[in-house]
Structure 1
């Protein structure tokens, strides 16, 4: 791994740690002592997304662990699209959780971190005891209505050119935000930096295509397992949502139905709400961690 440039380390002053997994070497941040809080990002971001949340939890009774999904951030980057499956991502995450001996975990998820985290939790033997859910599709789809973004990702040739050569969707992340300036300047550069090499850009396209467009899609089986875990989960849950998210803003309704007792915080943020309302996320994590 190349040494991080100064413009990133100024914003993300955390020690890089690495763990071997079945899917490749996984980068993660591991800070503090106390109850584990596992922060899971999605596509096409990395643990950098949670830097303000980690800062807000610093000094508290928490062991904050923020991994990078394989293919993203500072983790290994398999070059074959077919290497990326929900199961492989879930297995590598489970291996990290077991290797770090994380128990009584507050699981915090957004985007692909939701279904991957739920699949992992279903196989983690009760290690997850608290849950904070943000702008994700944790559940098996009711109907297979993909977004324009996900339909574009399946267009032959054009999508490969956009994702591989032009590092799509990194240049337009700000358009998914309530405040587009929340992902700009050095912050936008920090998201693009781990994928600066064309050969390393398989994961964003693969993860986009992992969103099921029909009942026969291979991801549906793993989504069904995660859905069952979520519906049976008995621990404290909070939902924190960016309602201006053009991708998953409307997904809040289904999550309210599945978690009827969850406290819900609606915010004017967009998809990557960690950049806009980290204080709301920190507050939700603290409440879930304090609920016994």
Structure 2
């Protein structure tokens, strides 16, 4: 991976670490000492998404670990769409957690980080003991009503051209926000930079197509397993939600019902709430980390 350009390092002053895994080399940030906080992003972002949260957790007596999913960020990028399944991403994350021997983990999840993290936690033998959930879906679908974005991802040829040639949806991330300016300028450039080469753009399309659109979709089994873990989880839980998210804003209701013990923080942020309300995310992570 090329050295990061200065417009990124000014915003993201973190040392890169790499871990070889079965399905590719995973990039991650690992800073601080203490109870581990594992921060998981989704599609089409990378650990850059958590830079404000990581800054807010600095000096809090916590070990902050933020990996890039295989196919995104500075991690290896398989070129085949078939390389991306929920199970394969979950297995990579589980291998990562075991290799770093992370225990008593506070898990913070957003977007695809939610289902991937929940599946990992279900297989991790009690390593996850705290949970903060942000604009994701830990739950298997009931009605299989996908968004326009996800329906578009299944259109033959057209979606391949948009995702592969035009780096969709990177140019329009700001439209998912409460404040569109929260992802603009150098911030928008930083999200797009790891996917600047056409050959590296398989993951955003593949992850979009991983969203189930019918009961027999191959992702349903892993979502069901992750949901069972989340519903039975006995540790401290918080929900921090951007209600202006056009993709998952309304998913808060189902998560309130599934996680009735969770403390809930509603915000006016959009999908990538780490950009707009990092303080609320930091506060939730610290409360969960302090709970015993």
TM (norm. structure 1) is: 1.00
| Cα deviation 1:51-101 (Å, max 9, x = unaligned) | 000000001110000000000000000000011000110011111100111
Aligned residues: 292
Q: Distance in 2 between matches of 1:223 and 1:238?
A: 20
> Which residue in 2 is equivalent to 1:47?
47
Q: Which residue of 2 aligns with 1:174?
A: 174
The answer to whether structure 1 residue 75 and structure 2 residue 78 are counterparts is no
Q: How does 1:101-180 map to 2 (within 5 A)?
A: 101-180=101-180
- How far is the alpha carbon of 1:39 from its aligned partner? 0.1
Structure 1 partner of 2:256:
256
Structure 2 counterpart SS, 1:135: strand
Deviation for aligned residue 1:143: 1.2
Name stretches of at least 5 consecutive residues in structure 2 with no aligned partner.
Answer: none
The 4+ residue runs of structure 1 with deviation greater than 6 A are none
Deviation at 1:142, TM superposition (A): 1.3
Deviations 1:166-197 (A, max 9, x none): 00000000000000000000000000000000
Which structure 1 residue ranges, 5 or more long, are not aligned? none
User: Within 5 A, what are the aligned runs for 1:150-229?
Assistant: 150-229=150-229
RMSD: 0.4
Which secondary structure state, in structure 1, belongs to the residue aligned with residue 287 of structure 2? helix
Deviation at 1:261, TM superposition (A): 1.1
Secondary structure of the residue aligned to 1:119 is helix
Alpha-carbon distance in 1 for matches of 2:52, 2:73: 17
Give the TM-score normalised by structure 2.
Answer: 1.00
Structure 1: distance between partners of 2:23 and 2:221: 19
